[in-house]
Amino acid sequence: MTTRSGFRFRSPGGAAILSGLLLLLFSAGFWLKRLATRPAETLPDLGPAPAFEGRDARGRVWRNADLAGKIWLADAIAPDCGGCLVRNLRMADLQVSFAKTDVVLLTFVSDPNLRPPEKLEQLSRAFGAASGRWTFVSGVPPFPADRFVAVDGAGRLRVSVAESDPALSSRLLDGAGDLLRESRATRQEPASAARPSGLRPANRR
């Protein structure tokens, strides 16, 4: 399958993948409403996020310390990743959902064919990765390549979801939303400061 910019991915399931893409493209609005209305939950602490090092298309080196104080979500592109198109569109949806927050998205690229800077730049353009918000970095992911993860501002791993989990989208969005609420409560910020794009405060009587 080929993106609009000409970037080509191998895709194993034609009709099924296309159906999935359609659902992904229209899911952001539904989950924004869900985040606005669901009660906050306390997420488990899964331990410190494993150390990593990667380099982006501009040659900047990324390490855990660069994300101190930030909530970040991450996935990975491994060699022969048949479902990477869907994975990247899922990350694009997350970027839209959290556009007005300081949540950072990282995609680790371990496929040697996609690790050169020009390929990372091509990936960024193909999926509309906004500078400073979603970054493709070359390097081995610090977690299993078939998982999506969420890390809090203290560098603790709080969500780890397998790509095969049917509740993947809801667990990621709900988890990131809970981390934003948790961060807001810790810093005692106004509610509007930690609300993902499109969320409205609950009606008060």
Residues 68-114 pLDDT 10s: 999 999 999 887 666 678 888 889 989 988 988 999 999 999 988 88
Structural domains in the chain?
Answer: 51-189 (3.40.30.10)
Q: At residue 195, does pLDDT exceed 90?
A: no
What is the per-residue pLDDT for 78? 80
Q: Nearest 10 degrees: CA dihedral of 69, 129, 35, 71?
A: -10
Average pLDDT over residues 177-186: 90
Query: Is residue 118 over pLDDT 90?
Result: yes
pTM reported for the whole predicted model: 0.76
Per-residue pLDDT for 117 more than 90?
Answer: yes
pLDDT at 32 (0 to 100): 54
Region 53-57 average pLDDT: 95
